[in-house]
Amino acid sequence: MSEPDQINSAIKNRTQNITTEIGNDEVGLIVREVSGELKINIQSRVEARELFRNFKGINSSSLAKPCTFFEYDMGRIFLLGPYEWLISTRNNIDKVKTLFGKKYVGYFSCVDVTDGYTELKLSGNLLDHTLKQSLTYDYFALNLEEETESFRCIQTNFARVPVLFWKTSKLSVNLLVRRSYADYLIEWLSILNSEEKLVVL
Amino acid sequence: MRRLNTNIINAVNSHENSITVNFKFNGKIYKGHKGESLASALIANDIAIVGRSFKFSRPRGIVGHWSEEPNAIVQVGSGAGTVPNLKATQVELYEGLEAKSVNGWPNVNFDLMSISGFFERLMPAGFYYKTFMYPRKFWKTYEKYIRKAAGLGKVPSEPDPDFYEKLNHHCDILVVGAGPSGMLAALQAGRAGARVIIADDQSEIGGSLLYSNSKIKKMSGYAWAKSIENEIRSFKNITVISRCTVFGYYDHNFLTMIERCTDHQSLTSDLGPRQRLHRVRAQSVILATGAFERPLVFANNDLPRIMLASSVSAYINRYAVTPGEKLVVCTNNDNAYKTAFDWKSLINDHVTIIDTRRAVQSEVIERAKAMRIKIIHGHGVIEARGRTRVKSVLVAPLCMSGKEIIGEATEIYCDVVATSGGWSAAVHLSSQTGVKPVWDNEILSFRPGQAVQSQKSVGACNGSFELKECIEDGISVGASEAKRLGFESGKPKQKIDLPETKDEHPTQEVFCLPHFKPLSRAPKQFVDQQLDVTAGSIELAAREGFESVEHVKRYTALGFGTDQGKLSNVNGMAILANALGKSIAETGTTMFRPAYTPTTFGAIAGREVKKLFDPKRYTPMHDWHLENTVEFENVGQWKRPWYFPKSGETMEQSVRRECVAVRNSLGILDASTLGKIDVQGKDAKEFLNRVYTNNFDTLNPGKCRYGLMLKEDGMIFDDGVCACISKDHYLIHTTTGGAANVLAWLELWKQTEWPDLDVFLTSVTDAWATATISGPNSRKLIQKVCSDIDFNNDNFKHMEWKQGLIAGIEARIFRVSFTGELSFEINVPSNFGLYIWNKLIETGAEFDITPYGTESMHILRAEKGFIIVGQDTDGSMSPMDMGMDWIVKSKKDYSFLGERSLIRADIVREDRKQFVGLRTLNDKQVLPEGSQIVRSKKQTIPIQMEGHVTSSYFSACLGHPIALAMIKNGHQRMGEIVYSPQSDGSVIELRIVNPVFYDPKGERQYV
């Protein structure tokens, strides 16, 4: 029987380093499962600047900017809604909780949803075509090179599955998808790529 | 062969005419050139008849050269990949192409249905409304034959072997049509830096310049178009999509386009998606869809080889084929003279121009004279003659208005007639947005009305039919739209050469040429050739009282065909206006709807077929289920194990084995799909009190409570167990299918009605994997895998939960039961779900642990009388109806959702349907779910219904069938015999009983 620490992936047929590659670098799409960071859902009606005051390295003015994420010293914080954030961090949940302080106990929720999500990184020359097929959102608008303090993210549907989507570089994007949909999404991407036979000029 | 020597072609043979291919039409093999249209190849092979008309089965030939074609409708391919209703004018030729006409039996040259032509006078407009009404009962017979006669082509019966895809686009400007104005609009917007998409339905961009002999400076129109195309393609911000038809224009500048990716190669070629549906959201749309040449209406104008003048030019100039030797041009405008010039200069054959206008001084007339082309002014073609193709035309002198004949007719022999009645702007797409086209008497065409979206029409589709105007229009609008959207001024970086302006003599307002006989007696003058609508039938409709253009359209079927009346609408409106004594502007026009051209269902479905029809959700244990021969049940998008058949077992045998195992020893269920909502905050308890019917004040950490949620109307909405994790922290469980709705419902109340509450809801369904072990041996198993919890009944009671390590993994264990047996629900982080499942299966082997699915779960809970929301309830059951008065606690500080509705008169009335159990008197009869219940088996119709069966199973543990039902006043009718009539005529006798069939005292779950 497998040891617990070896079954940490939502994607079937995973390789040891939990990388699923479809196609190749030149013509194709590369899908990687990203793991290792905790995903923590935060909700509170406390003013964001005050709630996150102990988080180092963040620009508090960006905390309430819709459709953005920003980095702090231990990870990233995504704004999901007016009173809701998702923290992706290398910290453990207890350490994160202590950052909010005792003062606000009862006035915020802090839920570890790590196992509820699968993070996928998509790259390769078929990326643009794949996104056009899968996403109704204008991902061109995410390409905000002028932004320095916060980056754009969007909650939308990818292949009819709800995802949190953000661009990590010109040729790669990350998706955070509910774990139960991850296999379907991989199936979608596999079929897309296997039938495509596109030559990207 | 009617193919010209290409050396004498003046311009634009851009098709790959050097490659000869074989193709089959109506069973015969012909040769053509790869890339030319099927219509072109048929003309080259001197095939005149390509189909039969829809109503009268008259022989029909090619009229146009693109999407306006009404007659040349073909079925392409064979077997599963066959496609009906393609226009031969749009089908590109490839090696091995097979096409056939869509009607005509035994063949198009000799069609037995053509005898219907003898009964033409019995089939006027709306004849089917008038004829098939009597006797009434015969309609079913008529219908069978009408349906057989109707329709064009055949759809394949096998699954489509091709695949299709959809692409989503966003752009600043979408330019529809890549003719002269569209290309320039795109170029100017692209130069300014806007994100531009330009789509065109032809294989090459250039529009009319692909076949026109126009000169721009010293370049041919074709060469000029290529130079513009080269510059367009040099911009990275301009996307050019050819072979792509924009067929739908919807609100918010959302447009749909279909790209034919491989149709020009082979219908079964393995080269990628056959077609692509582009879904475009544009900030601004520039329509440059051009115009359609309008044919003149005259007697027998449907004979093969009577064609549009511009199409004759297109076949000569673009494809180097000629439809005949002796041409008559029948026109009311200057434009058709170009066809005569093309014919004379390239073919040097007989050509005569019949112009309805009186002779005036104009450039084209002077040029025609110089080329020694015979022109007959002030005359019109009033009738064509011939049987299977045109042989001659009758030409008669007309009065100044062109509406009356003023002299003797003469016959002119010819084998091709090129007809032109002016141009009609292609207003279809702008009309789809709700913009009513307006009539412009100056250009004798409708043009788009005031746009209601961010949209502009340019060039011919806006009524500018002169090439120079089109180009200037494109330059101007492309630049101004880019500027309006915030891009730099669209001044051209290099000068664009323009053609010279030409003086044109105005088009005469003639649509239908007169005949010696009245419309109703003259040979048929076809307006809509695809659906056999004649000028006479439109006039008849007007005489019968149809005045609205929309009514006439429906009565006569004018414009109903797959060509959407591209050639017929304006002529039809003009004839109707004349019949009504109104102007065309007063008569108006019909509106257009998507799709502009026929679109395949495959493209609309895209990839959402077969495996990808609907997203699927899998539990962390899914792989194990697959390896253990499971049958799945779809619950919402979840794939839930339904039952686990062993080799050779039927579903019934499998389910019985699973149920008995749970009752006698140990079963295990994957319950990961149950909805789980984390509730936190200092007001969490108050929030729960408001959304559940029962009291949560007394629910302390470590305890669980079953709860029921109602909608405002007091009807059951969802149920589940709620656990208190710690002070101000709870975990709500919901039904699998109801999870998303429950969360949305709770958020709605939290955010809109109770924003003052500090309570926060987080879906954690996917975060936890749940394995439920149930049965007398479940405690023994859990004790073997968990050492840090005392599972003694005194320490870990029913409806409690504890946290501990299961096989080394942190877990939440809930002692709750949905089977009535001793049960534990083990929740671990999802990433360890499969690991824990394997561990439980391995350790439980000594108790013969049996995985069971949802079917067994349903039976086990039904034996206990536990309801399933959505199966036993349907949104119209209150807690009292279900015998759950005990869970409604009205003594709370704050009311709960639905409470007020529970005292409504209708909810407290006595004869409401109530939840009961049913036993069949015959123990071998299992009631079908949904069966109706009646009081007596001898009732006469209409039978009064007493209720219906909500759940029904055979209970292996009890040895007899059981059923749950909703029956009027059922709680007061225990022991009563009722009946259930079945669809086969039989009646099942039943006794109303308590819904708890098994362990009525509930002792087994408390052990």
Model ipTM value = 0.91
Has residue A181 been placed in a domain? Answer: yes
pLDDT at residue B267, as a whole number: 55
Whether A17 shows a pLDDT value over 60: the answer reads: no
Residues of chain B with pLDDT under 70: 1, 5-18, 266-270, 489-494
Domain holding A99: CATH number? 3.30.70.1400
Q: How many CB pairs under 8 A join A and B?
A: 136
- Same domain flag for A125 and A179: yes
pLDDT at residue B494, as a whole number: 65
Q: Which CATH architecture has domain B675-763?
A: 2-Layer Sandwich (3.30)
- Domain at B905-1006, CATH class: mainly beta
Has residue A201 been placed in a domain? Answer: no
Identify the closest residue of chain B to A188 by CA–CA distance. Answer: B612
Question: B549 to each of B157, B527, B557, B567, B569, how far by Cα in Å?
Answer: 38, 15, 11, 16, 10
Residue located via tokens 């959700």: B617
Has residue A126 been placed in a domain? Answer: yes
Residues A178, B612: C-beta atoms closer than 8 Å: no
Which residues, numbered 53 to 82 in chain B, qualify as contacts with chain A under a Cβ-Cβ cut-off of 8 Å? none
Residues A113, B762: C-beta atoms closer than 8 Å: yes
**Which of B271, B618, B678 comes nearest A183 by C-beta?**
B618
Do residues B85 and B152 make contact, with C-beta atoms less than 8 angstroms apart?
yes
Distance from CA of A6 to the nearest CA of B (A): 9
Residues 6+ apart with CB under 8 A from B572: B527, B528, B533, B538, B552, B553, B556, B558, B559, B565
- Same domain flag for A23 and A122: yes
- Domain at B520-587, CATH class: mainly alpha
Question: B103 to each of B22, B38, B69, B117, how far by Cα in Å?
Answer: 23, 17, 16, 15
Residues B835, A4: C-beta atoms closer than 8 Å: yes
Distance of CA B655 to the CA centre of its chain: 41
Report how far residue B750's alpha carbon sits from residue B687's, in angstroms, rounded to the nearest whole number.
8
Q: What is the largest CA-CA distance in chain B?
A: 116
- Same domain flag for A54 and A145: no
Do residues B563 and B530 make contact, with C-beta atoms less than 8 angstroms apart?
yes
φ, ψ at B252 (rounded to 5°): 55, 35
Domain holding A175: CATH number? 3.30.1360.120
| CATH of the domain spanning B622-672+767-852 | 3.30.1360.120
Beta bridge partners of B718: B709
pLDDT at residue B208, as a whole number: 93
Q: Which of A95, A112, A129 is the last residue of a domain?
A: A112
- Same domain flag for A100 and A158: no
CB contacts of A107 in chain B (<8 Å) are: 681-682, 758
CB contacts of A157 in chain B (<8 Å) are: none
- Same domain flag for A187 and A131: yes
Report how far residue B262's alpha carbon sits from residue B268's, in angstroms, rounded to the nearest whole number.
9
Residues B762, A129: C-beta atoms closer than 8 Å: no
pLDDT at residue B552, as a whole number: 94
Identify the closest residue of chain A to B616 by CA–CA distance. Answer: A184
pLDDT at residue B418, as a whole number: 98
Structural domain count of chain A: 2
pLDDT at residue A12, as a whole number: 46
Six token digits for residue B795: 């320490």
- Domain at B164-291+425-484, CATH class: alpha beta
Structural domain harbouring A52: 38-112
Of the candidates B499, B451, B500, which has an alpha carbon nearest to the alpha carbon of residue B477?
B451
Whether A123 shows a pLDDT value over 90: the answer reads: no
Whether A4 shows a pLDDT value over 60: the answer reads: no
pLDDT at residue A16, as a whole number: 30
Residues A107, B758: C-beta atoms closer than 8 Å: yes
Q: Which of A112, A135, A155 is the last residue of a domain?
A: A112
- Same domain flag for A70 and A103: yes
| DSSP, residue by residue, B665-719 | T-EEEE-TTSEEEEEESTTHHHHHHHHBSS--TT--TTBEEEEEEE-TTS-EEEE
Has residue A147 been placed in a domain? Answer: yes
What ranges do the domains of chain B cover? 164-291+425-484, 520-587, 622-672+767-852, 675-763, 905-1006
Residues B762, A160: C-beta atoms closer than 8 Å: no
- Same domain flag for A13 and A43: no
B497 at A interface, C-beta within 8 A: no
**Residue from A1, A139, A184 whose CB has the most chain B CBs within 10 Å, to mutate:** A184
- Same domain flag for A126 and A157: yes
CB contacts of A188 in chain B (<8 Å) are: 607, 612
pLDDT at residue B1, as a whole number: 58
B803 at A interface, C-beta within 8 A: no
Q: What is the largest CA-CA distance in chain A?
A: 58
pLDDT at residue A190, as a whole number: 82
Report how far residue B70's alpha carbon sits from residue B42's, in angstroms, rounded to the nearest whole number.
16
- Same domain flag for A75 and A92: yes
Residue located via tokens 């009962």: B137
Residues A44, B620: C-beta atoms closer than 8 Å: no
**Residue from B162, B634, B760, B836 whose CB has the most chain A CBs within 10 Å, to mutate:** B760
Q: Looking at chain B, how many residues does it have?
A: 1007
**Could you report the per-residue pLDDT of A55-64, keeping only the tens digit for each?**
888 776 667 7
Residues B765, A161: C-beta atoms closer than 8 Å: no
Beta bridge partners of B734: B675
Which residues, numbered 729 to 758 in chain B, qualify as contacts with chain A under a Cβ-Cβ cut-off of 8 Å? 758
Residues A132, B168: C-beta atoms closer than 8 Å: yes
**Which of A111, A159, A196 comes nearest B678 by C-beta?**
A111
- Same domain flag for A121 and A22: yes
pLDDT at residue B15, as a whole number: 47
Report how far residue B328's alpha carbon sits from residue B351's, in angstroms, rounded to the nearest whole number.
6
Distance from CA of A63 to the nearest CA of B (A): 19
